[in-house]
Structure 1
């Protein structure tokens, strides 16, 4: 990941609703979540959610798949991991001790 892509991703995540949507999709894993389920979980009107999904998609952080009349959204883990790698690249001069560990449980 380069600085322009990182800036775009961080800007998208720098808004509380978008960060909440992204975290919800990360929690859902590769299965993703339907747009209506996201709206319900976060108590968001459809138009508001649509705006935030568009911003996250433009930053490459999520993708959507049409399922009939609905769309299933998923976090793009490749982009998330590239952003984490970009942020921690050369951390503490490359010593392993300070690099954050993944939070997988």
Structure 2
């Protein structure tokens, strides 16, 4: 991810509902959730949810797949990895071993 893409991702996550959606999809794992399920879980109107999902999709933080008339959304972990990679690319003054505990915490599959 470059600077502009990272800014777009942060902008997408800087709104409360979108941040809640992203965290919900991270928790849902690879199976993701249908758009209606996300709206219901967060008590958000479907048209509002659709707009928020579009912003997250454009930022590369979610991906979607069609299932008949429904759309399933999943967190795009590659987008998240790209954003975090951009932030940590030059960390610790060129001594990446100092960042290893932070990177390990972020990437743990606990």
Give yes or no for TM over 0.5: yes
Over aligned residues, Cα RMSD in angstroms? 1.2
Distance, in Å, in 2 between the alignment partners of 1:12 and 1:103 is: 24
Q: Give the gaps of 5 or more residues in structure 1.
A: none
Where does residue 60 of structure 1 map in the other structure?
A: 60
Determine the structure 2 residue equivalent to 1:97. Answer: 98
Give, in angstroms, the shift of residue 68 of structure 1. 0.8
Moved over 4 A (4+): none
Instruction: Provide the TM-score with structure 1 as the length reference.
Output: 0.93
Structure 2 unpaired stretches of 5+: none
Normalized per residue, the structure richer in helix is: 2
Alpha-carbon separation, structure 1, partners of 2:51 and 2:89: 32
